[in-house]
C-alpha cells in the first residue's frame, strides 16, 4: 500500500464516527448471540426454533420496531467490517496479525450481508445454506478432503475460542484489566462465553468431518445443527442449557466489547 493510501486508511480507521459505529457492530453481534442463546434454551425444553443467525434475525425482525433495529445492526456490522478491512491494510491492531484481521473482516462482512437480507424482508435458512455450500465443495476435485479440511479449521477455531476464554486472552482486546466490579463481570462473561462458543464451533467442525467421511452434504450443519446434536447426547438437555447460557454470556461480552474494545489505541 502506498504511503498516501495508508495515511487515508488510517484517517478512516481513526475517524471518531467510524469508530463509534464500528463499536455498534460489536453490540449488534452481541444482540444476535443473546437471541441465539435464548432460542437454544427453548429448544432444550422441547420448543421449536432455529438456533442460529438466521433464526435470531427472523426473531428480531418479528419484534416491535424489529426492521428498524435490523437496519441499525446492518450499519454497525458494515462499519465494523470496514474497520477491520482498514486494519488489515494498515496492520494497525496491536497483537493481531493481518491474517486474523482479514478473517474478522470476512466474518463481519458475511454477517452484514446476512443481516441486510433479513432487514430488506428476505433471508434464507442457515442450515440449507450450509448444506448447499458443502455440496458445492464436494463437487470439486478432492471435494471430500476440502470439506474435511474445512471441518478441521472450524474445530481449530473452536478450540482457540475455548483457550482464549479460559486463559483470559480476550482481555488483550479490551481497555480494561478485569479489575473492579465491572472488570470482574467482563471476565466472567468473556470466560464462559468464549468457552461456550468454542464448544459449539467445535461441534460444527465435527459435523463437517462426518459429512466428508460419509460423502453426504446433509450431514454438515451450522450452529443450529450443532446445538441439536448436543441435545441428542446423554444429559443433552443439561448440555444444551449450559451452552445456551454461555452463548447469552458471549453476547453480553460483545456488549462490553462495544464499550471497552481497543480500536487502534
Give the structural domain span for 116.
3-260
Residue 216 within a domain? yes
174: which strand partners? 261
Least confident piece of the model among 137-141, 163-167, 175-179, 244-248: 175-179
Residue 68 within a domain? yes
Residue 102 within a domain? yes
Grid cell 476440502 — which residue? 146
What's the predicted TM-score (pTM) here? 0.88
Cell digits for 107? Answer: 466474518
**Model confidence pLDDT, tens digit, residues 200-217:** 999 888 888 888 888 777
Cβ(153)–Cβ(105) under 8 Å? no
Residue 265 within a domain? no
Grid cell 437496519 — which residue? 71
83-94 residues labelled b (16+ CB within 10 A) or e (exposed): bbbbbbbbebbe
d(CA 19, CA 92): 14
Q: Which of 64-68, 105-109, 232-236 has the highest mean pLDDT?
A: 105-109
Of 126, 26, 110, 124, the residue nearest 76 (C-alpha): 26
Total domain count, the chain: 1
Cell digits for 46? Answer: 422441547
**Model confidence pLDDT, tens digit, residues 25-68:** 999 999 999 999 999 998 888 777 787 888 899 899 988 888 99
DSSP, collapsed to helix, strand or coil, labels residue 2 as coil
Grid cell 466474518 — which residue? 107
Please give the share of the chain, as a percent, with pLDDT higher than 70: 89
pLDDT tops 60 at residue 88: yes
The 3-class SS string of 41-64 reads: HHHHCCCCCCCCHHHHHHHHHCCC
Of 141, 140, 148, the residue nearest 219 (C-alpha): 148
pLDDT tier, 256 (very low <50, low <70, confident <90, very high otherwise) = very high
Cβ(23)–Cβ(83) under 8 Å? no
**Model confidence pLDDT, tens digit, residues 140-154:** 788 888 888 988 999
Rg, the chain, Cα only: 19
Residue 134 within a domain? yes
Average pLDDT over residues 117-130: 76
| Distance in Å from the first CA to the final CA of the chain | 22
d(CA 161, CA 245): 16
Angle at 65 between CA 245 and CA 55, to 5 degrees: 40
pLDDT tops 60 at residue 1: no
Cβ(21)–Cβ(6) under 8 Å? no
Give residue 11's pLDDT: 64
Amino acid at each position: 500500500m502506498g504511503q498516501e493510501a495508508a495515511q487515508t486508511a488510517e484517517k478512516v480507521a481513526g475517524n471518531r464516527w467510524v469508530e463509534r459505529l464500528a463499536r455498534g457492530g460489536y453490540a449488534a453481534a452481541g444482540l444476535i448471540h443473546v437471541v441465539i442463546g435464548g432460542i437454544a434454551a427453548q429448544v432444550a425444553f422441547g420448543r421449536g426454533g432455529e438456533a442460529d443467525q438466521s433464526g435470531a434475525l427472523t426473531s428480531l425482525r418479528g419484534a416491535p420496531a424489529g426492521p428498524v433495529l435490523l437496519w441499525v445492526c446492518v450499519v454497525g456490522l458494515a462499519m465494523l467490517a470496514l474497520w477491520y478491512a482498514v486494519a488489515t491494510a494498515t496492520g494497525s491492531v496491536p497483537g493481531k496479525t493481518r491474517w486474523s484481521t482479514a478473517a474478522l473482516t470476512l466474518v463481519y462482512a458475511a454477517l452484514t450481508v446476512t443481516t441486510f437480507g433479513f432487514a430488506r424482508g428476505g433471508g434464507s435458512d442457515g442450515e440449507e445454506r450450509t448444506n448447499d455450500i458443502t455440496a458445492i465443495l464436494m463437487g470439486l476435485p478432492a471435494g471430500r478432503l476440502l470439506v474435511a479440511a474445512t471441518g478441521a479449521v472450524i474445530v481449530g477455531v473452536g478450540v482457540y475460542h475455548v483457550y482464549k476464554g479460559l486463559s483470559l486472552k480476550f482481555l488483550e482486546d479490551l481497555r480494561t484489566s478485569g479489575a473492579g466490579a465491572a472488570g470482574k463481570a467482563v471476565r466472567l462473561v468473556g470466560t464462559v462465553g468464549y468457552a461456550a462458543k468454542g464448544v459449539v464451533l467445535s461441534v460444527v467442525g465435527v459435523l463437517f468431518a462426518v459429512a466428508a467421511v460419509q460423502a453426504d452434504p446433509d450431514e454438515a450443519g451450522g450452529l443450529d445443527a450443532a446445538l441439536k446434536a448436543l441435545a441428542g447426547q446423554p444429559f443433552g438437555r443439561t448440555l444444551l442449557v449450559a451452552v445456551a447460557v454461555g452463548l447469552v454470556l458471549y453476547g453480553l461480552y460483545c456488549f462490553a466489547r462495544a464499550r471497552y474494545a481497543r480500536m487502534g489505541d
